[in-house]
Chains A and B, each alone.
Chain A
């Protein structure tokens, strides 16, 4: 019986001997990634020093920090947090990247998504580095372990393999694919496992599309998602890779906890209705629902493919008066490309409010809703209060559907505008 890519990465990171799902191993993360956030990085920096007497991390090249939440700062306390992060980074010779975009995206742009590498973060959406054959796990406060020890103790996770087949129809996007996977498999289907995505349909899927799918793995219960490197991802990843290691791949006879095949041929656009990421429905079930706010952005969506789809829908059209459409490209690199392609011009001309990259629209810090308001969103999550008042509502849809709703002021099928 062969091995999964996850087992191979953890074998490599724990010294080389073969490991199987269920083994507990000491693994050395190749990269320790985080963004500054109260209760996480500030506490870790303090505990490192006060609890463990560690002034500096031993191998600063393994660490990277992003400032992407609370950007721009709106209170002195927020700026204090950022300054503390900059100071810690300078003292530790650890790079701090700010105002370059959402860290999970920028980490890929900067080569931390090295194929075959092990990455840890406190935030589970780092799973999107799995797009490049990197095993990237969000461990919440256990991230402290990676700051004070070289190795983390980790149980090798089992893997559920999902093969996607068929071709997506126009107007159906990666966002629909992911939430359809949740609908088919269930929100607890991959608990404590790795969701490995494969299948012939991947050949049609861009890096952007794959990042969307792997970003959201946690909503299947998985601790991360991973895709075996291929000709789509390897050129991008190897050109940027920060480590010289050989990519790893699942064996054809790898041992999986479960295998599923999902045919995408007849998939329609979907919606995730509030208040849970478990609630996938066909978009057609909620057409006509009045919405006042649209958010196109986040670490899950907001990449060039999403911006192109929205710009195509909005080209030559106007958003409904009074509708608030926030467009937030995921990184500066993406925003620059969108400008060069003329997408921003289309979006702005249609009436969109386009801002520089920030996580803040996704978690209710900017562009918040009041009671009774309802949004269509490509943000990560639709739980109560995620984007403002607990009495506002979030309908998760693909980028084209956000744009279509902005035109009509109601949830609309984007395909009529494509």
Chain B
């Protein structure tokens, strides 16, 4: 069985010495009859510059006292028109645009984009490249979830987990830097391979990370999972049923928290994910607490995949041998006539991709990331469309928040794990 139901803690953690709510509070606070105070609704504008919105998001709330009657998210403050810019660029020049979308897990975006182009162009990457990309994508899933964990803990008033998770994130930043030279804007992939092979000692560094990070996760677990404040702030808050979650287009941990075990890595596997041994964590209640538990468990599963990937990492070249796709080595380009011509053609003209369109879904840290590329046979895309998971997830916020308190709105927004870079693109 590749599905695992997360353990929903009800009650308090004796180690914490704090009373939790005994049972999840029921949804629908409007059921409680309140005296009609005849009060007027109030308009509150949150953001776009507000730390609790996790980015440049603006929420216009209609409040009745402290209860959210309605909330309208306004997006677009970070809109950079990446999709339009992509239509002016060659296929490889688009890679740097992709990591500026989800800057919290950039390597997943780098990999997903080139995977879609490779599929359309019919390029099969080398075995080593596949495993390296699996390693990078799983590492960045942990990277993205760690940021989510730290910032969400801050939203409910716990500061310590933020320090713990950012300490671990810093180590991943350093691994990014060792490999790509950049901490956030990695741009590590090229169509047909990677910009370089992994540097010496990188795998050893990763192994050390895998050995030590579970202790941190365990500590955060102990600090948060049974914590009365977290339980009180998240259980029964922002719940959504499985059927509605699918109808609203939820994907990723948000959908799985509602009990739907849909994971692109299992349902439409790429890069031999079907041969890795890992479980898909699912929740039962679909509330903020389940989303927290699912992400915590996903990090453990990603570490499992990483350990397996390191064991099976094969040798051999990382880029495809086709000279019309991959650049020749510098030595060859300088000494060999044919290599120099290929180098010149690839740099001045760019790669040509067969006409057609391709929608390639990848399980990103926020949900299903779809890369839709359309080619008319040229060196530039006719259309490059990104299906950003956060964009679809944040659209559900008004439905989740209606009827809750304004402080719960902040928690619900945090629990969706959004990044405005990819929402606005």
Q: Check if A and B associate.
A: no
Residues of A within 8 A of B (CB): none
